[in-house]
Structure 1
Amino acid sequence: AHADQGDSPCPLVRDLLAHRLPQIRARIAELEALAERMEQALESWRDMPDGTPDGHSLCRLIESFPEEAPCSTTPSKP
């Protein structure tokens, strides 16, 4: 460890934080976009009736919602 060798770990901690912060901000932006899309879905589905399952569809609500580029839901690696 740095402290055991008489070195300050502060520069390493600063570098790690400087590297990780943009990743965290990007992930937050992805999650905010996903939350907005989910809110839009709820709003557009509010007055739609439930469909009767027929074995050929996933969900009438999902299938009726316009498709957009998917958000990444894979967590960022440190």
Structure 2
Amino acid sequence: MNGFFHVAKVFIRPIVGLSFFLIQALRADQAGHTSFPEFLQAIWSAGIIRYTVNLEARYVVYYGSSDESYMEKYLAVTLPI
């Protein structure tokens, strides 16, 4: 774990790593460069077939078709009321 992100398992796909495309899609979305539909298309193209979100524990797990998984944890955010 490097403080903010944690790899649960490494994605491996012949020739090009699946995780590269997932991380690329995540970072583009986090930077505000994609809409939600574009983000969904990008992670689907990266081989993600589903994801789960835990709002209380602040993490998302992305799943590939061969039961690979990648987890990202997020820091708590306090919004002004």
> TM-score, normalising length from structure 2?
0.29
* TM-score normalized by the length of structure 1: 0.29
More strand as a share of residues: 2
